[in-house]
Structure 1
Amino acid sequence: MARTALKAKQWKMYEKRFVKGQDLKKPTKYYNRCRLCGRCQSYIRDFGICRVCLRTYAREGLIMGLRKASW
């Protein structure tokens, strides 16, 4: 689970960048976070969530068209 301070910091940077229309001085400091748990590693851009949440949701059948592969 991500630290609350890091999630808050990233949210403030997101608001400054996209909502208010201002440029960040260091745009590389902004990084994507999972919408569900706040994790920054293993972020899957197509779904906007991390691999752990994606796997959980796929197993529960909550993501349409996605299922566990077996061969």
Structure 2
Amino acid sequence: MAKVSAVNKNLKRERLVAKYAAKREALKAAAKDPNLSFDEQFEARLKLAALPRNGAKVRLRNRCQVNGRPRGYHRKFKMSRVSLRHLASHGYLPGVVKSSW
């Protein structure tokens, strides 16, 4: 089980990313737009830099939805390898079967 504070910090980041996503995208587009003047592009970059750092999507950490574990994360199931194996072997994940060859 992960530290509750780490899980809560990541949830707070998710909320900030959702809040600033549209504004951040618009400012990024303005900063890269070749039709705008250099000063307008620079102004857009300054506004982008003024946004909260935790509002950037790259700051999110993939964590297991079951126990919050940050490592061994499977994107398809949104859980760690430990939880995935446990739930799959007990038959709680529909369509997941143990392979053998």
Name the TM-score, length of structure 2 as normaliser: 0.62
Listed one character per residue, the Cα deviations across residues 10-39 of structure 1 (whole Å, up to 9, x for unaligned) are 000011112x2x145254321111111000
Match of 1:58 in 2: 88
User: What is the root-mean-square deviation of aligned Cα atoms in Å?
Assistant: 1.5
Name the TM-score, length of structure 1 as normaliser: 0.84
Task: List alignment gaps of at least 5 residues for structure 2.
Answer: 22-51
Match of 2:3 in 1: 3
1:69: how far off?
1.8
Sequence identity percentage:
33
Listed one character per residue, the Cα deviations across residues 25-70 of structure 1 (whole Å, up to 9, x for unaligned) are 2543211111110001011000111111100110011111111122
Which of structures 1 and 2 has the larger relative contact order (alpha carbons within 8 angstroms, sep 6+)?
A: 2
1:9: how far off?
0.5
Give the secondary-structure state (helix, strand or coil) at the position aligned to 1:39.
coil
Q: How many residues are paired up?
A: 69
Query: 2:13 & 2:89 partners in 1: Cα distance?
Result: 33
Query: 1:46 & 1:62 partners in 2: Cα distance?
Result: 15
Task: List alignment gaps of at least 5 residues for structure 1.
Answer: none
Flag the structure with larger Rg. 2
Match of 2:78 in 1: 48
Q: Which amino acid aligns with 2:83?
A: C
Match of 2:59 in 1: 29
**Ranges of 4+ aligned residues in structure 1 off by more than 4 Å:** none
